[in-house]
A and B are shown apart, each in its own frame.
Chain A
């Protein structure tokens, strides 16, 4: 039997391929539409406009800080979930995962109620330190961290779970405290997961819109991030909106290629 015959024999049924192609087209065609409409001749000048430049810069800085915060606080949380046993751990994990499925706008409202001037914590920040968070660049960072943190925690927890816990035992019998074991054994072994978690959370922070606009507003230069700029520019300056969208698409493609090995093919150890 030639390979052609084999191909024909294994050709999947139309009832499956037709909807599959519709799904594929649905996902790809809109992106192609953006690429086709990009005003390439004015692409650079569109991005160089003050509004676009400010938004681009603000987004890069805030999402990088958010990713850093996610690493700083998320990795320990992931370790706690993966390596310790306590009552209510599954409840805790559910709480950590909730922002993944929560509408971002609701996240923004929740942040306002927590960190707003009248909020649960914000009230004290205001009276004790005179610090007001909402509608500042700090609020942008908090909103992005809120939606990005679950991505990091889940990715890193998976990596911790996938690496053999007996390496920790081996380190302990060699005299390493839990902290030293974490630093020299657990964390290095989970590094691929930490890396993909960091990239994912950075990308999620970069794309955040709903929570940001609710909690931080959209003041040019301080809280107007790229997604907000795209949304606003679409009416006033569609060329700039499309150019910025194109930038975000390119960033997504780069992120995807970075994660291709590590994330899409499953957790690597």
Chain B
């Protein structure tokens, strides 16, 4: 299970980084979502992986799973979901406004050419 979770995090991160380095808004946003999935699984794994154990600390339970990472993941999911929505809206606004979805700044020469 450790291998499965670790390689899932690795594949998601690698794909995310590749897409984030693209030039256009849409792949970059997809890459950001992949990275946030990777980090969510990573946070989940940071409390050690256990199966079938309750996440509650009571007197009669000796084998329990750490509940804190689950709370952290919940917060991280909510925040990254909201942030992705914001960046989609701003990216859409920028694309509709200037009819161009490049993430980088255009060089001065290209900009001047466009204006003519």
- Chain A bound to chain B: no
